[in-house]
Amino acid sequence: MLTPPFELHIPSTLDEACSMAAMLVESGEEFDWIAGGTDLLPNYKWHINTKPHVISLANVSGLDNISTNEIGCMARLHDLAEGGNCHPLVALAAGKVASSLIRRNATLGGNLCLDTRCFWFNQTEEWRSSIDWCHKCDCNTGSDCRVIPNQNELCVATYQGDIAPTLMVLGATAHLIGPNGIRKVAMDEFYQLDGMTRNILEKGEFLLKVTLPSGVEDWIGSYQKLRVRESWDFPEAGVAAAWKKGDRSTLRVATTALESIPRMHNEEVAKSDGNIALLSDEIFRSVKPVNNTSLPPRYRRNMVKVLVKRACEE
């Protein structure tokens, strides 16, 4: 299947990449970044939000470093999962992404910036024409949202990345680079509603790397992923939990695949005061999945209780 035409730019240094982006931004040309391509290319083949230019980060050197405290955006998920160099919780989540083959291509940056998903949206152009289009990608048509009908203000497509919640609970920081230089944000502030906005990246910016605080090696935790098949499938719900070894009062919990962004649950943790049953109930109440993935939202929501319980098990 062909993608619509675009020009691929392959810079070999970070400076070159940034100036390319700046130039395109300046000239008003739309473009996308491509890292591993496992998310972008299927969408492009289906004519979803294609742009006339694509800048590849594949050959920019120095972006694929992996250590406990820093992971470059081009670190392949295979290397995260198998390399033994990053935090075990990140490795665990990375190893659960899609399939071993996808993980050879897929990168940390791509996974964190994963486009939101929806079965009305992730379809070919031909298919979308049969539902009179989707307002997430066929914006010019003025069509309505098919998940929540009779509105085209809000997009409720689901964020189904596995790694983001683990980085959130480990207190990671995202470093974004763009025409105006580098800025840093906490991982949980990187994401921004709605399903179309997805995150705070501005025109020409991309996620350069993620850093984890010093002392993170003392943190342990778990990531629980709900899926039908142990390969290929995106999470239908995902819960990450982490705490400092020996100190349960530091417990942090984040969820994914339940809404348009992954989310920390600090309030719920505080409210439940160490009672995991209470915590799972609180989080269950706070998430509101919609019907746009494989399994029904009621079930996914209820499973949050089980996943929280299992993720917090010592």
Partner 1 sequence: MVGEEHVSMLPQAPTKIWKAEVNGRQNEILAPSNAILLDVLRDKVGTLGVKRGCDMGTCGCCTVMIDGVPRLSCLTMAFEVQDSKITTVEGLSEGAHLAPIQQCFAEHGGSQCGFCTPGFLIVSQALLNENKSPTDQEVSCAIEGNLCRCTGYQQIIESIQAAAAINRGDVEPAKPASEAHSNPHPSGPN
Partner 2 sequence: MTDGYRQQPGKGSDVRVDGKRVAGKLRFNPPGSGGSRPEMKERDLDFIPELEGGNEAQPAGSHLHDKYRTGTTVGKRTPLVDANAKVTGQAWYGDDVRLPNEIIGRILRSPHHYAKVISIDTSKAEALPGVLAVSTGEDAPQKFGVLPVTKDEHAMAVEKVRHVGDLVACVAAVDEATAREAVSLIKVEYEILDAIHDPKKGLLDVDEPIHWRGKYHIGSTNVQKRVFQEFGDRSKLDQSSATHHGKWKFMGVNHGFTEPHAVVAHWDSNGRLQLYTPQQVPHYAHRALATVLDVPMHQVNVIRTYVGGGFGGKSDPFPHEMCAAILARKAGRPVRITFDREEVFWVNRGRHPSHIEVEMYADDDGRISGFEIDALIDGGGFASFGHVTSYYNGVLATAPYELGSFHYTGARVWTNKPASGAMRGHGAVNTRCAIEVGLDDMADQLQVDPIDLRLANLLPPHSKTITGFRITSNGMRQALNRVREGSGWDEKFRKMPLGKGIGMGCGFFISGSGLPIHWDPNNFPHATVHIQIDMDGGVTVHTGAADIGQGSNTAVAQVVAEVLALPIEMIHVRSHESDTSPVDLGSYSSRVTFMNANAAISAALEIREELLNSASNILEIPVEKLILNDRRIYSKRNPSEGVSYLEALHKSQEDKGALIASGAYRTPPMGGVHKGAAAGLAPAYSFSAYVAEVEVDVETGLIKCTDVWAAHDCGKALNPLAVEGQIIGSCHMGLGQVLSEQMVYGRTGHLQNPNLLDYKIPSVHEMPNVTPIIIESCDPEGPFGAKEAGEGPLLPILPAVVNAVYDAIGIRVNDLPLTPDKIWSAITKKMKLEGIDDPQNLPPPRLDFSELQEKLAARSSEHNDRDVRRQRAEDTEPYINGVLFGFDPNTPPEEQDGDWKISVKPTSEQLDNLRLAGSAWSKIEQRKMEDGK
DSSP state of 163: S
Q: Does 150 bind partner 2 (CB under 8 A)?
A: no
What is the size of the binding site for partner 1 (CB under 8 A)? 43
Please, which contacts does 14-17 make with residues 24 or more away whose CB atoms are closer than 8 Å? 14/60, 14/62, 14/63, 14/177, 14/208, 16/60, 17/55, 17/57, 17/60
Q: Which residues pair with 128 in a beta bridge?
A: none
Q: Does 196 bind partner 1 (CB under 8 A)?
A: no
Q: Does 20 bind partner 1 (CB under 8 A)?
A: no
Selection from partner 1, partner 2, none that 143 binds (CB < 5 to 8 A by kind) is partner 1
Q: Which residues pair with 253 in a beta bridge?
A: 241
- Which stretch, 13-21, 22-30, 86-94, 291-299, contacts partner 2 (CB under 8 A)? 291-299
Q: Name the burial class of residue 281, with classes exposed (0-12), middle (13-18) and buried (19+) by CB atoms within 10 angstroms of its CB.
A: middle
Helix or strand (DSSP H, E) at 125 = helix 125-130
Work out how close the CB of 146 gets to partner 2 at its nearest, in angstroms, rounded to a whole number. Answer: 8
The CB-side HSE value for 100 (13 A sphere, CA atoms) comes to 1
Q: Does 23 bind partner 1 (CB under 8 A)?
A: no
Work out how close the CB of 298 gets to partner 2 at its nearest, in angstroms, rounded to a whole number. Answer: 8
Interacting residue with partner 1 among 87, 128, 146, 265 (CB under 8 A): 128
Residue 101 backbone dihedrals phi, psi, to 5 degrees:
-70, -45
Selection from partner 1, partner 2, none that 179 binds (CB < 5 to 8 A by kind) is none
CA 16 distance to own-chain centroid:
26
Work out how close the CB of 231 gets to partner 2 at its nearest, in angstroms, rounded to a whole number. Answer: 4
Interacting residue with partner 1 among 68, 69, 85, 143 (CB under 8 A): 143
Q: Does 228 bind partner 1 (CB under 8 A)?
A: no
Show the site string, 37-66: x = touches partner 2 by CB under 8 A, - = not: ------------------------------
Interacting residue with partner 1 among 74, 87, 105, 293 (CB under 8 A): 105
Please, which contacts does 124-127 make with residues 24 or more away whose CB atoms are closer than 8 Å? 124/45, 124/46, 124/47, 125/46, 125/47, 127/46
- Residue number, 105 or 211, with CB nearest to partner 2: 105
* Identity at 162, one-letter amino acid code: D
Q: Does 269 bind partner 1 (CB under 8 A)?
A: no
Strand order in the sheet with 247-256: 219-226, 237-244, 247-256, 263-264
Interacting residue with partner 2 among 70, 119, 179, 286 (CB under 8 A): 119
Selection from partner 2, partner 1, none that 142 binds (CB < 5 to 8 A by kind) is partner 1
Q: Does 88 bind partner 1 (CB under 8 A)?
A: no
- Residue number, 171 or 235, with CB nearest to partner 1: 235
Work out how close the CB of 48 gets to partner 1 at its nearest, in angstroms, rounded to a whole number. Answer: 9
237-261 b/e with 16+ CB inside 10 Å = b?
A: bbbbbbbbeeeeeebbbbbbbbbbb
- Which stretch, 134-142, 190-198, 240-248, 276-284, contacts partner 1 (CB under 8 A)? 134-142
Strand segments, DSSP code E, in 131-194 are 173-178, 181-186
Rounded distance, CA 227 to CA 237, Å? 8
Alpha-carbon torsion, ordered 269, 164, 156, 51, to 10 deg:
160
Interacting residue with partner 2 among 65, 192, 296, 313 (CB under 8 A): 296
Contacting residues toward partner 2, per CB under 8 A? 1-2, 5, 99, 119, 123-124, 126-127, 129-131, 146, 226, 228-234, 294-296, 298-299, 302-303, 306
